[in-house]
Amino acid sequence: MVDSYTIGDLIKKGVEILEAGEYNNPLLESQLLLCHVHNVDKIYTYTHKDRLVDSQSVDKFLKLINKRKSGYPIQYILGKQEFMGLDFHVREGVLIPRPDTEILVEYIIDLVKGEYFNEKESIKIIDIGTGSGAITLSLAHYLENAHVYSIDISPTALEVARENAKRLGLESRVTFIEGDVLSPLEGLNLYNSIDIIVSNPPYIPTKDIQELQREVAEHEPKMALDGGEDGLDFYRRIVREGVKYLTDGGVLAFEIGYDQGKAVKELMLRDRGTGTMSHHNPFKDIKIIKDLAGHDRVVIGRVGRGDGEL
């Protein structure tokens, strides 16, 4: 048996429980979980504060609040996360998109719309490590002239990304491919034809994963986090294997960890890849872009003979 609660009381109860769990925004989370149980908008919780909640819903709400308190990510409970103004469905097995990643996406959107690509009629992009499709689908949504080849090694991630593409009406603008980094593109005849390679790869050094916030370490997929011993495994591979896909003037853009700017820049300067063009055209004009907290967040560089500024 559960006590009888109004919507207002129940939200308060949720806040009390969550506060004990040291979460950032107990009020918002309590409201969101109540909305989820009732299938209503947040505004409903203000306009119907005094409405009594049936005992089944109270029970369900308290179960979810306690699950959240134990460190389970709220996005997996709600089944979604907003990114670049779009709703992405997420579930266990898929990384929850982070606001920091918007910096990378916005930079690329500006680049494609700006002078550098000079109103090119169509833009081909490769996204390595699709996850929920956050980067791929935002680029496809905001850049009408783009086609994105979107790769992930995780079948769950690709399934979720495909569902998101369908919901956002972007299926025809994306080619989803399962496989390891760039290897599934071999044989697709894409050498020297890609304008931009983008990736937010796994970049946490293996030994640091256990020290991440509990929500992340215990509930998000290791496969989306583990960047090998020094965290740089994927950058090394993508720098080496990616060059041969890029056109003259093609761009490589990475999200990076807050302390990886210098190391990834060095990799792009040193590791020249294996394609023919790469021997003559290492990456240049390399920039490190900071996030709002002042940490390194994006590294971007280009190949080719031109002298365009990124």
Per the annotation, binding residues for S-adenosyl-L-methionine are 129-133, 152, 200
CB of 136 to ligand SAM, least distance (A): 7
Q: Binding of ligand SAM at residue 260 (CB under 6 A)? A: no
CB of 243 to ligand SAM, least distance (A): 17
Among 29, 102, 152, 271, binds ligand SAM (CB under 6 A): 152
Q: Binding of ligand SAM at residue 137 (CB under 6 A)? A: no
CB of 129 to ligand SAM, least distance (A): 3
CB of 62 to ligand SAM, least distance (A): 31
Q: What is the pattern of x (binds ligand SAM, CB under 6 A) and - over residues 65-104?
A: ------------------------------x-x---x---
Options 70-78, 127-135, 242-250, 263-271: segment touching ligand SAM (CB under 6 A): 127-135
Tokens for 143, please give them: 């850049």
Among 19, 82, 171, 180, binds ligand SAM (CB under 6 A): 180
Count of residues that interact with ligand SAM, criterion CB under 6 A:
22
Among 45, 75, 130, 278, binds ligand SAM (CB under 6 A): 130
